[in-house]
Amino acid sequence: MMKREAGTVRSIISVREGLQVVCVEMSGSGEEKRAVHYTDTSPLLHPGDCVVVNVTAEELGLGSGGYHIVLPSHLYDSEHAFASRPSSGHVMKLKYTPLQRSVMAVEEESSLFHSVFQEEKTLEGMPVLLGELHSMLPAAVSWLRYREQRRKQPSMPSMNLAYIMTDGGALPLAWSQHIAQLEEIRWLQSTITYGQAYGGKLEAVNKFSALIAAKHAAEAELCMVTMGPGIVGTGTRYGYSGIEIGELVNAVHALGGIPVVIPRISFADPRSRHRGISHHTLTALGLAARCPAILPLPQLVGDEYAVIEEQANTLERHQMMLMPAVLPEEIAEAFASYPQPITSMGRGLWQDPAYFQGVCAAVDCAIRLHNPSM
């Protein structure tokens, strides 16, 4: 069920590529609410414009980020329908829905990269960081760039980093404030979306071609994959979107890359299934991943390390790699260069340091695999 309400745009809060945030006065209540308007297929809104917004997620309290979603006008107002923006591509995203749109996929014949997909390609041993939560992205990239700044050979260029967004969470890449920020400060060189996710600098049909695009179209030295914001969980063994990590392990392995799984670790989450290494990580690796992966673990102290070591030992197919635990103070120094707060499940570094130590351990492992001298 989709619940909609009419309103009037009162002010413009912010604008970035592909997305506009506006303040809408709701017709029924008169309250002013924040709403997101996607501008990839619609023009910018202005104060006084009448809109219809999807209020479903906010009404259900699903934690969608505190925003309503503006519906494209052609769905409700034929007289004032927005003119569509042309696309030279022929691959459809959001297929067979009122919001379907065409994109230029890297595999298409008219794509600049079509020839890449005409022959067999591999990842040539490239490390691929696989993360379940979108919040792992800014933490991982901040730590990567911090490590590069403090390496012994400062003249070495920064690694070319590609980010692949799956369709397990938010579908529009423009929804992510972190991606916009990472691109603005040039810490992220390429973005790729596949499946029903859209909006990346490169579009791909599936996870295999997205990975090949990262290596051979974006020319990445290191690749990171997470879903968009908004993981789905049901409190059951199989009913969560993060199980896709296992499928990604298989794809990276099949293409000749090195799958490095970022462990989801917490000792602050009150739910027992997420204590230590989350059951999400354990199930994805134990059930869905049929190929071996590397699971880096921070060398925590005392009972915390004993817990995660015992959990990791159940994953016989995979290689546990113990990494020195980064002190929270050093992580805080790395995060200080990033313009936005970095949190996960509402918790920051000092509320749940083990989570961020797990992310840093995986990044350090991937760096070592890429360049053992670093």
Quick: pLDDT tens for 277-300: 999 999 999 999 999 999 999 999
The pTM assigned to this predicted structure is 0.89
The predicted model gives 48-64 an average pLDDT of: 79
Which of these three, 75, 90, 123, is where a domain ends?
A: 75
User: Could you give the CA distance from residue 326 to residue 361 in angstroms, rounded to a whole number?
Assistant: 8
pLDDT on residue 96: 81
What does the buried/exposed string (b/e) look like for 37-73 if buried means 16 or more CB atoms within 10 Å of the residue's CB?
A: bbbbebeebeeebebbbbbebbeeeeebeebbbbbbb
Instruction: Specify whether the CB–CB gap between 1 and 57 falls below 8 A.
Output: no
Nearest to 43 by CA among 22, 14, 10, 20: 20
The predicted model gives 198-214 an average pLDDT of: 97
Instruction: Specify whether the CB–CB gap between 41 and 101 falls below 8 A.
Output: yes
- Is 222 in the same domain as 335? yes
Please write the tens of the pLDDT for every residue from 217-230: 999 999 999 999 98
Residue 85 lies in a domain: no
Residue 331 lies in a domain: yes
pLDDT on residue 57: 75
For the chain, how many structural domains are there in total?
A: 2
Instruction: Specify whether the CB–CB gap between 25 and 10 falls below 8 A.
Output: yes
pLDDT on residue 87: 62
CATH value at residue 43 = 2.40.50.220
pLDDT on residue 67: 86
Going by pLDDT thresholds of 50, 70 and 90, the confidence category of residue 82 is very low
156 pLDDT higher than 80: no
pLDDT on residue 307: 95
- Is 38 in the same domain as 128? no
- Is 171 in the same domain as 233? yes
Residue 237 lies in a domain: yes
366 pLDDT higher than 70: yes
Phi, psi of 331 (to 5 degrees): -60, -40
CATH value at residue 177 = 3.40.50
* Domain, as residue range, for 323: 114-370
The predicted model gives 13-40 an average pLDDT of: 90
- Is 168 in the same domain as 275? yes
Angle, nearest 10°, between helix axes 353-370 and 136-149?
50
| Burial class, 254, CB count within 10 angstroms (exposed 0-12 / middle 13-18 / buried 19+) | middle
The predicted model gives 15-43 an average pLDDT of: 90
- Is 199 in the same domain as 301? yes
Phi-psi region of 335 (alpha: psi -120 to 50; beta: other; left: phi over 0): alpha
- Is 307 in the same domain as 195? yes
What does the buried/exposed string (b/e) look like for 189-218 if buried means 16 or more CB atoms within 10 Å of the residue's CB?
A: bbbbbbbebbbbbbbbbebbbbbbbbbbbb
Residue 317 lies in a domain: yes
- Is 9 in the same domain as 118? no
In Å, how far from its chain's centre is CA 61?
A: 22
- Is 243 in the same domain as 357? yes
DSSP string, 327-361: PHHHHHHHHTTSSS---BTTB-TTT-HHHHHHHHH
User: Could you give the CA distance from residue 55 to residue 3 in angstroms, rounded to a whole number?
Assistant: 6
Going by pLDDT thresholds of 50, 70 and 90, the confidence category of residue 75 is low
Report the mean per-residue pLDDT for the chain.
91
The predicted model gives 68-79 an average pLDDT of: 70
- Is 13 in the same domain as 155? no
54 pLDDT higher than 90: no
146 pLDDT higher than 50: yes
Going by pLDDT thresholds of 50, 70 and 90, the confidence category of residue 373 is low
Q: Token pair 């299934």 is at which residue?
A: 273
Window from 79-88, 198-207, 301-310 with minimum mean pLDDT: 79-88
pLDDT on residue 84: 47
Q: Token pair 């691929």 is at which residue?
A: 128
Residue 178 lies in a domain: yes
Residue 100 lies in a domain: no
Instruction: Specify whether the CB–CB gap between 133 and 344 falls below 8 A.
Output: yes
- Between 190 and 3, the more confident residue is 190
- Is 185 in the same domain as 306? yes
The predicted model gives 348-371 an average pLDDT of: 96
Residue 286 lies in a domain: yes
55 pLDDT higher than 90: no
- Between 2 and 238, the more confident residue is 238
Give percent of the chain above pLDDT 70: 93
The predicted model gives 7-24 an average pLDDT of: 92
81 pLDDT higher than 90: no
Token pair recorded at residue 336: 């200080």
The predicted model gives 183-201 an average pLDDT of: 96
pLDDT on residue 62: 63
- Is 131 in the same domain as 65? no
The predicted model gives 153-161 an average pLDDT of: 80
What does the buried/exposed string (b/e) look like for 259-295 if buried means 16 or more CB atoms within 10 Å of the residue's CB?
A: bbbbbbbbbebeeeebbbbbbbbbbbbeebbeebbbb
pLDDT on residue 100: 79
pLDDT on residue 65: 62
Q: Token pair 């423009």 is at which residue?
A: 174
- Is 155 in the same domain as 277? yes
Residue 87 lies in a domain: no
Nearest to 105 by CA among 213, 261, 264: 213
Taking the alpha carbons of 345, 135, 171, 250 in that order, is the dihedral positive or negative?
A: negative
Q: Residue 232: how many CA atoms within 13 Å on its side-chain side? A: 11
pLDDT on residue 80: 47
The one-letter amino acid code at 86 reads P
Instruction: Specify whether the CB–CB gap between 319 and 260 falls below 8 A.
Output: no
Q: Residue 338: how many CA atoms within 13 Å on its side-chain side? A: 28
Which of these three, 52, 75, 98, is where a domain ends?
A: 75
